[in-house]
Amino acid sequence: MSYWVNPRTNEIVAGLPGVHAEVIATAHRGAALLKAEINTRTGAMAASVSAEAVGSKDAFFGMSDEGAIPYNFGHHNLWADRDIPGSHVIEQAMGGL
């Protein structure tokens, strides 16, 4: 059995009353979870966490600190010649939504 889905479904749903407000609220909840997770680890990047609405249908949260990518995903420390594991705080915040 197959079903036809309107290719504009996402756009239509995003335009329904209250959807954009919920998207923004979810981004703010994600930012709060991310900030709390960073604070329990180091607190060093918590000030760079933010949530932001984009246009009339989308929102996001994340870290703007230049060390956010290696902090989250891990990196290789050249001075110590060893791998530093990532904290994966962004994924943990997303999982908590």
pLDDT tens for 34-85 read: 998 887 766 778 888 999 998 888 899 988 888 888 988 999 999 999 999 9
| Predicted TM-score (pTM) of this structure | 0.76
Q: Structural domain tally of the chain?
A: 1
Q: Does some domain include residue 4? A: no
Helix (H/G/I), strand (E/B), else coil: 23: helix
Q: Residue 77's domain spans which residues?
A: 9-65+73-95
- List beta partners, residue 61: 51
**Which amino acid belongs to residue 92?**
Q
Run of H or E residues at 91: helix 89-95
Q: Does some domain include residue 1? A: no
Q: Does some domain include residue 2? A: no
Q: Does some domain include residue 77? A: yes
Q: In angstroms, what CA-CA distances link 53 with 25, 45, 67, 72, 77?
A: 10, 21, 23, 23, 35
First to last CA, the chain: 33
Q: Does some domain include residue 15? A: yes
Q: Does some domain include residue 46? A: yes
